Amino acid sequence: DGGITQSPKYLFRKEGQNVTLSCEQNLNHDAMYWYRQDPGQGLRLIYYSQIVNDFQKGDIAEGYSVSREKKESFPLTVTSAQKNPTAFYLCASSIEAAPGTEAFFGQGTRLTVV
């Protein structure tokens, strides 16, 4: 089955530690995205990538980093510089980053920093 796999589903980390969230897709999509979801805030774009080896900052990129070394993979690192990292993180992909293009989402990773 084609789709997007995020792992793990739940993640706990101590304050001050970096943590990497995994996102893999087998849809052969060029574009991939990371969103953060907080209660009452909707989804906010962290980073997006239109093609391998290229990525752009979204609205809330501070304290996060990404890489896109392979078409199917777009890992997100939450660094210790992110002031409030506890949230639900969603990865998505689309055929291309163009208007009208449907995005497909993974099941999300809930990160809790204690």
Binding site for another protein (CB under 8 A): 4, 6, 31, 33, 35, 40-45, 48, 58, 90, 92, 97-108
Strand pairing report for 42-51 and 54-57: antiparallel
Least CB distance to another protein at residue 14 (A): 24
Least CB distance to another protein at residue 40 (A): 6
Taking the least distance from each CB to another protein, the nearer of 35 and 74 is 35
Least CB distance to another protein at residue 53 (A): 18
The H or E element spanning position 87 is: strand 87-94
What's the token pair of residue 48?
């997006």
Strand arrangement, sheet containing 64-66: 4-7, 19-25, 76-78, 64-66
Taking the least distance from each CB to another protein, the nearer of 4 and 19 is 4
